[in-house]
Structure 1
Amino acid sequence: MTLNPTFTPPRNLPVAAKAGGGFQSQGLVSSGLIFQETFEGALQNGSTLANGAEVVTSAKMSGSKTCRVNLKDSATDPLVTTPSNSATYEYNGTLLRDTTSDVVTAIWNFRFDDAKWNGTLETINDASGVVLKGGYFGAYQNKVNGFYPVLKGGPNGSINLGDNQGRGDNGWEDSVWANDPGRLIWYLETGHEWGAGTGVHEFKVTVDHSHPDYQQLRMWVDGNLATNSQYATDGIIRLPKTWRFESFSTCYTNPGNVDQATDRTETACGIEFDNVRIYEREVV
């Protein structure tokens, strides 16, 4: 459980990759980039600020503008006009739907305000712990009937993946190729601390649609792969072919997860997102 305080996700596109392969968070390759949203000007085609998300000026992120939400309905946020548990940034464009690439990657920077997350539904003991859906990953114009990461952070960098179902493929989890037959939520860790009050981080999700029997999804935070020692040692979660990664959002939570959250040096439960990128390749 290691905190990397020097991590600074890039805003512009670097040009060098790590020799010999392997993930290098500050050495992204620009080839294959098909979308980038920096919030510095007019929103790009496909970008949506939903349910109270706003573009604000924030000195805590690189650049002058960022997307900000506050997920606590009763919060008094200095930058957000309308806090809402469903406020989020969404990519609703057609690029992921129309790509001919088998492998796609989405990356964005994020930062949680320094505040104490807590709620009547779940007690959070870790100072850096949070609890929220990291959005939804799914089909074009139907992302909700897909899969969702659960961001929990904390000293071990916990991140889960759950099935929101609704695709008409119930029972796929019993397939022989499933990571752990019968399982509909996967408990993963990056092994490095991130969460409330820990600064700017980088989230990455890569999906490989090339396997004939299933899709393959992996997630990273700050270049650290989310894994489970029992059923996802390589970080790969195998998902049904009925699902495709064609659109995504970045956050959502139940009001009961944040109704007891309190301010520390910043506002509960403010989150900022920036530099959203989509690639038609795996980014290494």
Structure 2
Amino acid sequence: MLKKLLLTSAAIATSSAALAADLPRRAAPPVFTPVAPVFTWTGAYFGINAGYVFDGDTRFDRTTGDLANNNAALAVGLRPTAARVRNDGFTGGGQIGYNYQFTPGSGFVIGIEADAAYTDLNRIRTLSNTTNFGPLVTPGAVATTRVNTYQGGLDFLGTVRGRVGYAFDRFMVYGTGGFAYGGVNNRVTFFAPNGTIPFFNGRQNDIQTGYAYGGGIEYALPTDSFFNFFRSSAVTLKAEYLHYNLGGDRFAIPGVNGGPGNYSARVRNDGDLVRAGLNYKFGTF
């Protein structure tokens, strides 16, 4: 009896082992390895900028008079037919924009940006000349001196530009160009002979439009950067150069305090600036 019981137990054990061998084995769960997201420049952004206008240029060209006497003063150099005022100064403002990157990581980026900035440009240039112009008008008159002042100013500058660039992951180079506008503040004053009383005075104080173009570089800060105060991958730093041209316009320089007739001058405003900027892009990646 005992022998039968032992044989039966052995048979059951053998069958169970064979059955277990036929069952599929349970594999160990895979180890999860997180994949770092790829940075993309796609998204809206806003930021601030500051820089320097190093070649602001206000040119008063082709000054003319409406009387023979006034044109004679221009002909002999008592009143300049052209003058230039060079300006330089601080600029600071803000910008908003949107970028679209075709392929995350490295690839082409297109976008649009609008900015507006205060400009500290306001300079006056004085030109004077002495000649025997008097006898041309009144026989026996003595030589006279004419003092002429030119003020060139730009109160603010704004642009709306397209951007086309190429990103090398977090580093991007780009070119840019588009519409520009600015608040010009120009003045011309011609003084009375041998005196300090304004004889002719004209001012242009309005918004002029034109174009701007340039290029720059931009870098997206890593999350652990000291300067990334948002602790996100959405803070970028940029440096760019722009040339602006606000076109030309003619304005009147009418006679005042008994000045006979009127003058007029065509004025053009353009310049170059370099600036740095900081942007916050919506969305971490």
Q: TM-score range by the shorter chain?
A: under 0.3
More helix by share: 2
Bigger-Rg structure (1/2): 2
Normalization by structure 1: what TM-score? 0.25
Higher relative contact order (CA closer than 8 Å, sequence separation 6+): 1
Higher percent of residues as strand? 2
TM-score by length of 2: 0.25
